[in-house]
Structure 1
Amino acid sequence: MAKVGNVSVIKRVGAVEAAATALREMVAAGKWADRLPGTRVLAGQLGVSQPTVQLALLELAKDGVLESAGERKAYRVKSRGASLSKESGPKGKRVILLTHQAIERTAESGRQVMEMLHRMLTPAGWQVDYRIVDFLHARTPHRSWDDLIGAEPGEQVVALFGRPALAEWAVKRGVKIIFLGGVTDGFEVPVVAVRSANLLAEAYRRLIALGHRRIVTQLCDRPQSYIDSMREAARMELEAAGLPYSPAYHTPDSEYLRPDVSWSIMESLFKRERPTALVLLDWRELVTAICFLSKIGLKVPEDVSVVLLNDQANAEWFQPPLARFKFPIARMARRLKAWLEGKWDPDGLRVGVAAEWVPGESIAPPPKG
């Protein structure tokens, strides 16, 4: 932590430094006897881009951990004795903040909680390390996670949007882990989260009260348990209003979350029976939906109402003002900090926190006819 005048400034650890830290630990653990793999292989292992890996390798070369064998040639191990991290904190005061991609690319609410947690911990003497591991689509634990995450038994990890395979890995390795959002599928890992199914139910209730019947929520590239809970929430709200529920129409899903997949689903639905409301899970899906509506000449909310089950710092730029949910960032960060300090133990339970409905102006009664 540096100081500017009398003000303390917490250094933000980006993707390059997180990748450099992971590589430093792997070198020190003896993962490579001499020569490292190429940047493409390393990028795949770390879940970052090749340019990020190249910059991380340059950092390690500057620190004397690696040496360059020349242009277009792999780096060599120079010293395994280099420290695992540029900073060393008191024993028992180290936490790893784990994400599946560079933190600046993660969902706004999750990034804000992680950054606030960092700001809370650093003045209290905690060493905060970041790791990037692509665990999001893993079906089983990967042995490479032992090196990539670098957590010893008993050490503490906060994982953003955790998954069952990661929970299984932590339980088997004796790593103390807590998820900030995500699913565990029965593994005894605590989760602090805003429950998406509750937000979906509230959004559907509000839309149904306005007269909407054809409400659509895409569930692309989500865990099956998440899909099941969201479909149950949609079904209950629609049937409570005496309306039929069709999973294929109201809550379509796909194994992939890509612009072309989302676009194709929208084309199919609007040809079948035009939705009057869209409830979207994240900002990427919102952008695709707005572009699609614009292309076919429909307006928000006159023709189609729109709700975002999240919040974004740039949501204020949306016109009309976006109906969405504001997450309790500070409350979630305080929960995580209390868990790390041993002051709060949810005992492997999912702890839900409530989000605030932001009405906006992107919803209205459905068009007549």
Structure 2
Amino acid sequence: MPSRGSLVVECVRVMKLRIEGGEWGKLLPGERRLAEALQVGRDTIRLALLQLEREGVLQEADAGARRRIIGVRPAAVKAKALRIGMLAHRRLEQLPQPVLLEVDDIRRALADKGGSLEVFSPSWYEQRSPAKRLAVLLEEEPCSAWILLRSSAAVQQWFMERRVPCLIRGYPHPGVELPHLDVDWQATARHAAGQLWRMGHRRVVVLSPSEPLKGVEAAVRGVMELGEPGFHATVQVENGTSAGIGKVLTRALQMKEAPSAIIATRPRQAATALTWLASQGIRVPQHLSLVTLAWEPFLDHLVPEITGYRADTDAVAKLVVRRLERLAAGDPNPGGNVWITPELVPGASVARVK
């Protein structure tokens, strides 16, 4: 995929790599398909195509016809460059900011090696029986290996049964034995709970989304297994809306023994909790401490700065690419630690209990 710098220049470079690798045969895909594949606008694609025509790589196309590839001599065709496909539950622009940063870092790392990344977000990705459509997609879009982002049990099972080289970017479902890489949410949450306990907090509320996420389930286990004397945690499930978070916080604060701290499992929960508490005259951290297990860049702009955990997206991208290279080379077990340990970033949203 095009990395930073001039998009037109990068598109020309990436398209040449794909042409030299024989990916598109004799006919280039249409402008719309190229724009989707390279995640750029059609105006950028048109400028790149004009440049390739000037360089004699492409034949000038008639209206409505696909451009013919003419500038690659058979002797110049090299072994196929590493082409990675990513299956995601949402379109690229709808993914969380940390995921976008990681995707960008993976693109750059692959581009440095002459490879590319293509993101697919089919509408059927989360359906109960995606097998037939997966087979068609992989036939139409041959890739060296795949990244499965937020993947269902059915998707993971399909890749495992067919032994398609892939890396789960997240947690594997029960019974699935595939290479995976994710934050150790259980250990991270246990660390957060331990930090709060050492600062005198004994009653803690954990905010959990209603959607079943393996990482959140692991985080809840991590808090619950702390086992320190007097420590008690309550899980409050919110419905994904600001009003829903306000409702569960109201319920928690009305408990006989009200909490002194909140653990947010998602960044949006932390932001909403901070502003909702302020609207109720409850100050963070003077009246209630707040910590988030996951981070997004927008949290840096909140006051007070929220204490939380961050993973280095560049370092994670390098881990991903190293595993993908081994998978594409035929190694079904790329090895290495499957858990990412995020760094605690002390903010100003946690205080000792007086």
Normalised TM-score (structure 2): 0.71
Q: Does 1:94 align with 2:83?
A: yes
2:245 to 262, 271, 274: 262
Alpha-carbon shift at residue 348 of structure 1 (Å): 8.3
Partner in structure 2 of residue 189 of structure 1:
178
- 8 A Cα contact 2:202 2:230, kept in partner: no
Say whether the 8 Å CA contact 1:189–1:348 is kept in structure 2: no
1:119-138 aligned at under 5 Å gives the runs 119-133=108-122, 138=127
| CA deviation profile, 1:199-220 (whole Å, cap 9, x unmatched) | 1111111111111122111221
Aligned to 2:261: 277
Cα distance change, pair 276–297 in 1 and its aligned pair in 2 (3 A) = same
Q: 1:139 to 1:241 in 2, by over 3 A?
A: farther
Computing the radius of gyration from Cα coordinates, the structure with the larger value is 2
Partner in structure 2 of residue 75 of structure 1: none
Q: Alignment partner of 1:361: what SS?
A: coil
Match of 1:230, SS state, is helix
Structure 1 residue 361 corresponds to structure 2 residue 348: yes
Q: Percent identity?
A: 20
Relative to structure 1, is the Cα distance of residues 281 and 244 closer, same or farther in structure 2, using a 3 angstrom cutoff? closer
| Structure 1 vs Structure 2 CA RMSD | 3.9
| 1:181-230 Cα distance to aligned partner (Å, 9 max, x none) | 23332311211111111111111111111111221112213436545433
Equivalent residue runs for 1:52-201 within 5 Å: 91=80, 93-133=82-122, 138-141=127-130, 143-147=132-136, 155-201=144-190
Q: In structure 2, the residue corresponding to 1:212 is in which secondary structure?
A: coil
The alpha-carbon deviation at position 319 of structure 1 amounts to: 1.2
| Correspondence for 2:212 among 198, 217, 223 | 223
Amino acid at match of 1:203: A
In the alignment, residue 338 of structure 2 is paired with which amino acid? Answer: V
User: Distance between the aligned counterparts of 2:310 and 2:9, measured in 1?
Assistant: 27
Q: Which residue of the partner structure matches residue 334 of structure 1?
A: 318
Aligned-pair CA distance for 1:271? 2.2
For residues 255 and 140 of structure 2, the distance between their equivalents in structure 1, rounded to whole angstroms, comes to: 50
Q: CA offsets, 1:98-144, max 9 Å, x none? A: 22112233223222222101111123221321111357854554533
SS at 2:225's partner residue?
helix
| 1:315 is aligned to 2:304 | no
Find the aligned partners of 2:213 and 2:296 in 1 and give their Cα distance: 25
The superposition leaves residues 259-315 of structure 1 with CA deviations (integer Å, 9 ceiling, x where unpaired) of: 343332222222225322111122221222123212211111111111111222233
Deviations 1:158-188 (A, max 9, x none): 1223332321122234422112223332311
CA contact (8 A) 1:325 1:357 kept: yes
Gaps spanning 5+ residues in structure 2: where? 12-35, 50-63, 69-76
Shift of 1:253: 3.0
Question: TM-score if structure 1 supplies the norm length?
Answer: 0.68
SS in 2 for 1:240: coil
Tell me by how many angstroms 1:154 deviates.
7.3
Q: State the alpha-carbon separation in 2 of the partners of residues 206 and 331 from structure 1.
A: 25
CA distance in 1, matches of 2:4, 2:96: 29
